Chains A and B, each alone.
Chain A
Amino acid sequence: MFAMIRKELLVLLRDRASLITLFVSPMLFITVMSLALSNSFDTLGSAPKMNISIVDQDGGIAAKNVVKALGGSDELKVTTGLSGDAADKRVRDGKDSFAVVIPAGFEKEVESGRKPHFSFVVDPSSSRQAVDPLQAAIRSAVLTVTSSTRTAVSLEKQRAAEHDPVRKAQLKKQIDKIDETWSGVTSTSTFPKGMTGVKYPSVYQQNVPGYTVMYVFFIVTVMAGSIMVERREGTFRRLLSAPVPRWQLLLGKVVPYLMVAVAQVGVLMAFGKLVFGMDLGVHPVALVPITVALGCCAVALGLLLASFAKSESQVNGMGTIVILVLAALGGCMVPGVFMPDFMQDIAGFTPHGKALNAFQEVMVKGADLGTVLPASGFLLGLAALFFVLAVPRFRFVK
């Protein structure tokens, strides 16, 4: 058994064409497609409506000035005077791209010289590329308003304390501190109540797992091809005369290619991570069960193909068609978010789509082991089905 695995891997190592197919060509695809598509992925998500609302929960001078400053602009429609909940609802309903919330205590922070804080409530589906600059502009507007307000207030207070040396010294200290810290406002972004973020994959988080899944399935033709060769050359027949049970001969084919599939995923994910800095998510361990299940599925499909194909050219022809069509349907080449809904539904039922989705759940949304088990189970079930269909038809000799 160990001898079979060793032999299979040795043979594969000598087969440069297959190695290139399984390892090098997906790297090239990932690189080229990522460079070609890098722009379109940054704009993933709907273009934002240039509507925002401002909620003033403080009512101080600084807050009023901020509202005033943001108020008038042709590109930007601003709704004011809303309660926090009302603004939240407008974002949730998709009326506004985000709301700016100025919390109570804002004025105090401005006065005391601490960095004043405010927050955004953002529609998770709006495009980062459009929202980010707008938020940056608002941040700098808040900064300008608060610092000038601060200056004005402190000047006024200074004048009032003109004849009180103790008070004057105190003020001086305060102003010095403001100078140190006034360069800042802080802001946080949250989603409206009850909404979780829809995060979009980066171009690498699409292409790396996409082409990985697609090329793992190339194992189907490589494996079926190697079975056809052993049939043609009579090495299988020879092994049938050796004291090796048939199931071991089968496993001797299945196990090494499963190992190759796992190695493929490992190598390509590492390639994405090391070369492109692709994010693997918070629980990279969760990639493991998907990988194993994906490998099983590909290997079982290879066995199925070898059981039904009549010739080596049929293996290559049928294999390639199956691989490419399933990869396209599964969203390996064109990401699902670019597809109409019904296509996305179809993708969900292909092994490719299932595996790719599960990979992205982990990498993009930080899914953990438990979350990816159903998808892994689906792939294993499919593998079992292929296996059960293949084994009774499998022949070792022509």
Chain B
Amino acid sequence: MTATVTAPAAGVRMDDVLTATGLVKKFGDRAVVDGVSLRVGTGEILGFLGPNGAGKSTTIAMLTGALKPDGGTIQVDGAEFAAGPMRAKALIGVVPQEIALYPTLSARQNLTFFAGAYKLSRAERRERIDWALDVVGLTDRAGDKVASYSGGMQRRVNIAAALLHMPRLLFLDEPTVGVDAQSRNQIFETVLRLRAEFGMSVVYTSHYMPEVEQLCDRIVIVDHGKVLAEGTQEELLRPLGAGLLEWAPTREELDRLQGGMVWLEKRFADHGQITVAAAGDGTQVLRIRVKDMPATLREVSEIAAGTGLGLGGIRLGRPDLESLFLDLTGRQIRDGA
């Protein structure tokens, strides 16, 4: 278990462990992945975000060699994937979105099998399996059938199976779905520990925003098979400005207001990007992506004083990935979930 790579100091850009350019995958006529390019730095945790059906899992399948791309190129550790798929695959670990295990076998038997698939020697096998079981905290139940495990425990075996060969790059496709807070924290710590101890790079897909915000150095947002945005959190949130201000006057207030919503919209024209949305009971809500919060708040109090509009309908929000996501895709990331 010697790691030749050490964790990078923050901000230091190392050689990329993976780069992909212009990936395309078509099912029939439909391009499910449509020109995705991305890079993963050594020791980097990359968040891979997108609503359901965005093409995340399909992209991962191509990046890991499970699916042949219809277009584009992939390099792993500086070498073309297609030129040496076995070598590339040996450097990569995958935790699939589904629990891809044999439920009638025990955790240990499953891990023994996958260790064999990754060509670990007999001696290595035992050691690595014990280590992986320890990492995911399942040493006690290793002899039990996987089918008898809780969902969270199965997820953890699913992760352990991808660690046995100590990949340089680990793909985690929604590893925390259906997992309670405790298990989720454990998975979390595992990821951070793997990066810290072995300089492992991670591509992390999740629908759980706080996770991504906390965990990922860089984020790629995709939808309809295309990359919509890419960068560090800071870079991504900067265009969102200082925050979000929503103003939802009551019906009576709106009726009393000369010029109505249109007038209000005009007053804030210089304050940032503005959208007006219909609210449930026939009223409307004004949403401003604020550039300079104190200036906007001064404007709000002036308007309130001048028109007699109440401040009860005002809500302030900090810019976050959730709102960025909504902005970019027009969809809630968890699609109603």
Chain A positions near chain B (C-beta within 8 angstroms): 2-4, 6-7, 10-11, 14-15, 233-235, 237-245, 397
Contact of A235 with B89 in the complex, beta carbons under 8 Å: no
Q: What mask results when residues 89 to 124 of chain B are scored 1 for a CB within 8 Å of chain A, else 0?
A: 110101011111110110001001111111100000
Contact of A243 among B61, B67, B86, B97 (CB under 8 A): B86
Contact of A237 among B96, B112, B117 (CB under 8 A): B96
Contact of B119 with A240 in the complex, beta carbons under 8 Å: no
Cα separation A314 to B299 with both chains bound (whole Å):
68
Contact of A237 with B100 in the complex, beta carbons under 8 Å: yes
Cα separation A4 to B61 with both chains bound (whole Å):
21
Contact of B86 with A397 in the complex, beta carbons under 8 Å: no
Contact of B105 with A242 in the complex, beta carbons under 8 Å: no
In the assembled complex, which residues on chain B have CB atoms less than 8 Å from the CB atom of A235? 100-102
Q: A3-B112, A10-B109 are in contact. Are A242 and B101 (CB under 8 A)?
A: no
Cα separation A230 to B259 with both chains bound (whole Å):
64
Cα separation A10 to B101 with both chains bound (whole Å):
13
In the assembled complex, which residues on chain A have CB atoms less than 8 Å from the CB atom of B105? 7, 10-11, 14
Is B65's CB within 8 Å of the partner chain A?
Answer: yes
In the assembled complex, which residues on chain A have CB atoms less than 8 Å from the CB atom of B119? 243
Contact of B116 with A3 in the complex, beta carbons under 8 Å: yes
Shortest Cβ gap from B315 to chain A (Å): 43
Shortest Cβ gap from A293 to chain B (Å): 30
Contact of B113 with A243 in the complex, beta carbons under 8 Å: no
Shortest Cβ gap from A239 to chain B (Å): 6
Cα separation A163 to B97 with both chains bound (whole Å):
117
Question: B118: nearest residue on chain A (CB-CB)?
Answer: A242
Contact of A243 with B101 in the complex, beta carbons under 8 Å: no
Q: A10-B109, A241-B94, A243-B86 are in contact. Are A15 and B116 (CB under 8 A)?
A: no
Contact of A7 with B86 in the complex, beta carbons under 8 Å: no
Contact of A245 with B94 in the complex, beta carbons under 8 Å: no
Contact of A6 with B90 in the complex, beta carbons under 8 Å: no
Contact of A238 with B94 in the complex, beta carbons under 8 Å: yes
In the assembled complex, which residues on chain B have CB atoms less than 8 Å from the CB atom of A14? 104-105
Cα separation A234 to B99 with both chains bound (whole Å):
8
Contact of A397 among B67, B87, B90 (CB under 8 A): B67
Cα separation A68 to B294 with both chains bound (whole Å):
138
Shortest Cβ gap from B72 to chain A (Å): 18
**Besides A11-B105, A240-B67, 20 other A-B contacts (C-beta < 8 A):** A3-B113, A4-B117, A7-B102, A7-B113, A15-B104, A233-B101, A234-B97, A235-B102, A237-B61, A237-B96, A238-B66, A241-B64, A241-B66, A241-B89, A242-B117, A243-B89, A243-B90, A243-B119, A244-B117, A397-B66
9 residue pairs, one from A and one from B, having the closest CB atoms = A3-B116, A14-B104, A240-B66, A241-B64, A238-B100, A234-B100, A243-B89, A242-B117, A234-B98
Contact of A233 among B61, B87, B98 (CB under 8 A): B98
Contact of B66 among A2, A6, A237 (CB under 8 A): A237
Cα separation A241 to B93 with both chains bound (whole Å):
8
In the assembled complex, which residues on chain B have CB atoms less than 8 Å from the CB atom of A10? 105, 109
- B residues 167-195 near A (Cβ < 8 Å) are none
Shortest Cβ gap from A382 to chain B (Å): 31
Contact of A239 with B98 in the complex, beta carbons under 8 Å: no
In the assembled complex, which residues on chain B have CB atoms less than 8 Å from the CB atom of A2? 116
In the assembled complex, which residues on chain A have CB atoms less than 8 Å from the CB atom of B99? 233
In the assembled complex, which residues on chain A have CB atoms less than 8 Å from the CB atom of B102? 7, 11, 235
Question: B125: nearest residue on chain A (CB-CB)?
Answer: A3
In the assembled complex, which residues on chain B have CB atoms less than 8 Å from the CB atom of A4? 113, 116-117
Contact of B113 with A6 in the complex, beta carbons under 8 Å: yes
In the assembled complex, which residues on chain B have CB atoms less than 8 Å from the CB atom of A242? 89, 114, 117-118
Shortest Cβ gap from A205 to chain B (Å): 38
In the assembled complex, which residues on chain B have CB atoms less than 8 Å from the CB atom of A244? 117
Question: B94: nearest residue on chain A (CB-CB)?
Answer: A241
Q: What mask results when residues 147 to 178 of chain B are scored 1 for a CB within 8 Å of chain A, else 0?
A: 00000000000000100000000000000000
Q: A11-B102, A235-B100 are in contact. Are A241 and B92 (CB under 8 A)?
A: yes
In the assembled complex, which residues on chain A have CB atoms less than 8 Å from the CB atom of B100? 233-235, 237-238
Cα separation A2 to B61 with both chains bound (whole Å):
25
Shortest Cβ gap from A233 to chain B (Å): 6
Most buried by B among A6, A10, A235, A243: A243
Contact of A238 with B116 in the complex, beta carbons under 8 Å: no
In the assembled complex, which residues on chain A have CB atoms less than 8 Å from the CB atom of B85? 243
Shortest Cβ gap from A17 to chain B (Å): 11
In the assembled complex, which residues on chain B have CB atoms less than 8 Å from the CB atom of A241? 61, 64-66, 89, 92, 94
Shortest Cβ gap from A13 to chain B (Å): 9
